[in-house]
Amino acid sequence: MNFAPIENKQLIETSSLLKLIANNDINGNEQHIYLHIANTGRILKAYDVANRGVYSVPLELKNKAINASCISISTKEYKRILKEYE
């Protein structure tokens, strides 16, 4: 997946990534999201992992993805977050 580079270096340095994990879908596919959060707590973007792992985020955020904390969420919440922030 190709992403536009994130030009704001301060945003990269001060933001965080969380990995949100819902149960697999009926076909066994993972339902994981990397949630990009500003230091103010505002959600910047949600990245659907879709079997791409840390490559589902822009290159500038890869190290944050590798070190992201994980939180379990419901399938309903997974769908809502993607709809609202992807």
Tens of pLDDT, residue by residue over 32-44, are 999 999 999 999 9
Q: What is the pLDDT of residue 13?
A: 81
Three-class SS of the chain: CCCCCCCCHHHHHHCEEEEEEECCCCCCCCEEEEEEECCCCCEEEEEECCCCHHHHCCHHHHHHHHCCEEEECCHHHHHHHHHHHC
Residue 81: which pLDDT band, with cuts at 50, 70 and 90? Answer: very high
Q: What global pTM score does this model have?
A: 0.85
Residues in the chain: 86
Q: What is the pLDDT of residue 14?
A: 85
Q: Where are the domains of the chain?
A: 9-85
List the one residue out of 84, 80, 78, 79 whose CA is nearest residue 19. 78
